[in-house]
Amino acid sequence: MSVLATLPAIPSYVVLIRFEPTAESDYPAYRLVNDEEKRSMAALFDEVKANTEGIYIVDLTGKSFCGTMRLGHLIKLQQALRTSGRILRIAADHKELLDVFRLTRLNTIMCVSNSLAEAVADALRPI
């Protein structure tokens, strides 16, 4: 069963970002971004600045490692979102990756959830 099939209905203002394709066939719901390509990341940052109402969730589920370049991109993405009063939401399900967010204290500036379903539910929860 597809991961996205288990999620609540995702409104159009919620943007799910995946840096690497998965074996699943639910790509239309994801905004796939090649974070090793400057042009792709620049386009994402431009979109974040233009879309001041959107909610951004980065799906890192299934990943047990996050390199320094990707962490840097996540920090820049959080900074771009913070300028309009928003918080980046991260979905990560591997203990090793969750430990990286905890040890670097990135979990204090980003909302880190244990699953994609939890991150989406948190994003849709009324304030």
pLDDT tens digits, residue range 64-101? Answer: 888 888 899 899 999 999 888 888 899 999 999 999 99
The answer to the question of residue 5 being in a domain is: no
Count CB atoms within 10 A of the CB of residue 56.
24
For residue 68, the enclosing domain spans 12-21+28-124
Residue 16: inside a domain: yes
Asked if residue 2 is part of any domain, the answer here is no
Looking at the 3D structure of the chain, how many domains does it have? 1
Identify the three-state secondary structure at position 111. strand
DSSP 8-state code for residue 11 = P
Instruction: Give the full edge-to-edge strand order of the sheet including 30-32.
Output: 30-32, 14-18, 55-59, 89-91, 111-113
Q: Residue 2's pLDDT is what?
A: 63
Instruction: Specify the pTM.
Output: 0.85
